[in-house]
């Protein structure tokens, strides 16, 4: 199992277009397309930032995971995504080591990535997403 880099940082927001005003117009980051991911009940925008990206996530339903997060903790950093070379192998190894997983199998993530979340109880309170992308840039 090899962690290659911080793929992106996921930020929960109430209003994606309003947040893009700040990240794009004020900070000057360029959003490379928005996408609705029905599997996760989110609308996302990715903003490349050096070697990694910022992912803004807005809930598409009132009781989605992002809105639940915002209700509890307010807008802010929701997860950190680590890119791995082989997500199937990584999940197998973590499971063998007794690490609690939210996703035992990879699922579809924005941009065609394969992703899986680890349980925050197993990671000192941080929701960690593993991500594998076909293009390892």
Q: Which residues bind Zn ion (CB under 5 A)?
A: 10, 55, 81, 129
Beta carbon nearer to Zn ion, 55 or 132: 55
Query: CA 7 to CA 90: how far, in whole Å?
Result: 15
Q: Cβ 44 to Zn ion, closest distance in Å?
A: 7
Q: Are residues 80 and 130 in contact, defined by beta-carbon separation less than 8 angstroms?
A: no
Q: Cβ 26 to Zn ion, closest distance in Å?
A: 22
Q: Are residues 103 and 94 in contact, defined by beta-carbon separation less than 8 angstroms?
A: no
Beta carbon nearer to Zn ion, 65 or 99: 65
| Nearest Cα residue to 41 out of 8, 15, 63 | 63
Q: Cβ 80 to Zn ion, closest distance in Å?
A: 8
> In angstroms, how far is CA 25 from the centroid of its own chain?
22
Beta carbon nearer to Zn ion, 56 or 94: 56
């Amino acid at each position: 199992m090899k962690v290659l880099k911080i793929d992106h940082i996921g930020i929960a927001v109430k209003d994606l277009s309003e947040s893009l005003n700040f990240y794009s117009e004020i900070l000057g980051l360029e959003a490379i397309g928005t996408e609705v991911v029905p599997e996760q009940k989110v609308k996302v925008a990715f903003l490349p930032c050096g070697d990694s990206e910022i992912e803004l996530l807005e809930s598409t339903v009132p009781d989605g995971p992002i809105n639940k997060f915002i209700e509890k903790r307010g807008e802010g950093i929701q997860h950190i995504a680590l890119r791995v070379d082989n997500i199937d192998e990584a999940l197998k190894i973590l499971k063998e080591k007794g690490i609690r997983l939210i996703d035992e199998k990879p699922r579809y993530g924005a941009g065609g990535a394969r992703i899986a979340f680890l349980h925050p109880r197993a990671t000192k309170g941080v929701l960690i997403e593993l991500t594998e992308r076909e293009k390892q840039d």
